[in-house]
Amino acid sequence: MPALELKPEQIAEVLTRGDLEVLGRIRYSSNATFLVEASVDGATIPAVYKPRRGERPLWDFPDGTLCNREVAAYELSTGLGWGIVPVTVLRPDGPLGAGAIQRFVDHDPEVHYVTLLEGREDCFRRFAGFDVLANNTDRKGGHCLRDRADGSVVGIDHGLTFHPHWKLRTVIWDFAGEPVPPEMVDGLCRAVAELDDGPLGRNLSALLAPEELAAIGMRAAELLREGRFPEPEPGYHAVPWPLI
C-alpha cells in the first residue's frame, strides 16, 4: 500500500515495526544516511535511515543526539499542527543500530525554497516560526522539498536543532520583522500549553535534555510576546552555507 494512502499514524507504525531493507547510501550527506524500505502487513514505505553510530561528532552538540533531534522536530511539527516534517520515528533496532527513520519524500532536487517561495508565503511563514522554536542552525534552501505525491511542501534535515542557546541560521529571512499571523498564534499557544503538561512535552522529554525542552518554551513565549518574526542579529552568521 503506497504511503499516500496511509494516515500519519499508520506510516509511523510501518516505520516503527516494519522490516528494514537497505537500498543504498545517500551521497553528499554530512552523516551516514541510507535509503531503506520498511515493510509490514502488506505495506511498504521508502524511508531515510540516519543511524546514531554514523553521526559525525560536533563541538556544540552532544555526541549521538542528532537522530533524537530529527524525531523531536517531527513531534514539534505535529504538536503545532503545521505538518512541516515528514513522519519520523526512532528505531532502536535498525540495520546499523539505533537511528531515526523518516518517510522518504520523492522530490525534484532542482525545486527548493528559492523556487518555491512565490505563492507559498504562508507556508514558509510556518517554516520560519517552526525554525525559531526548533532553533534550527542549518535551514538550507534544499531542505525545503515539494512532495511529488501530493504537491505539499515539507522540511527535512533537522539534526542540528534544539540547542538551548540561540543559534538560528536559515535562508528564510524574507518575513523578518513581519507580524506573526493569527493562525500561527493558535498553534504556538497550543504547543506552549502542551510543553508543560501534555503529550508534546512528554514526547519531547524522551528525546531532548531538560534544558533543551525548557528553551523551546522560552523561544515560543518570546515569539508570542514580540508578535513578530525575529530579524538577523548584527554580527552573527545568520545564513547557512551553502545556501541550497
Distance CA 71, CA 144 (A): 17
pLDDT digits (tens, 9 = 90+) for 194-222: 998 899 999 999 999 999 999 999 999 99
Residue 115 is which amino acid? Answer: T
Distance CA 171, CA 235 (A): 16
Q: What is the pTM of this model?
A: 0.96
pLDDT digits (tens, 9 = 90+) for 31-75: 999 999 999 998 999 999 999 999 999 999 999 999 999 999 999
Alpha-carbon distance values, 178 to 1, 77, 122, 139, 181 (Å): 43, 21, 12, 19, 9
Mean pLDDT of 213-239: 94
Mean pLDDT of 156-161: 98
What pLDDT, on a 0 to 100 scale, did the predictor assign at position 114? Answer: 97
Q: Is 52 helix (H, G, I), strand (E, B) or coil?
A: helix
pLDDT digits (tens, 9 = 90+) for 71-123: 999 999 999 999 999 999 999 999 999 999 999 999 999 999 999 999 999 99
What pLDDT, on a 0 to 100 scale, did the predictor assign at position 23? Answer: 97
Tell me the sheet residues that pair with 170. 139
Distance CA 186, CA 90 (A): 28
Residue identified by cell 517531527 is 74
Least confident of 61-70, 149-158, 183-192, 223-232: 183-192
What pLDDT, on a 0 to 100 scale, did the predictor assign at position 233? Answer: 85
pLDDT at residue 3 greater than cutoff 70:
no
In the DSSP assignment, the letter for residue 204 is H
C-alpha cell at 173: 529571512
C-alpha cell at 125: 511563514
Report the run of H or E that residue 101 belongs to, with start and end: strand 97-103
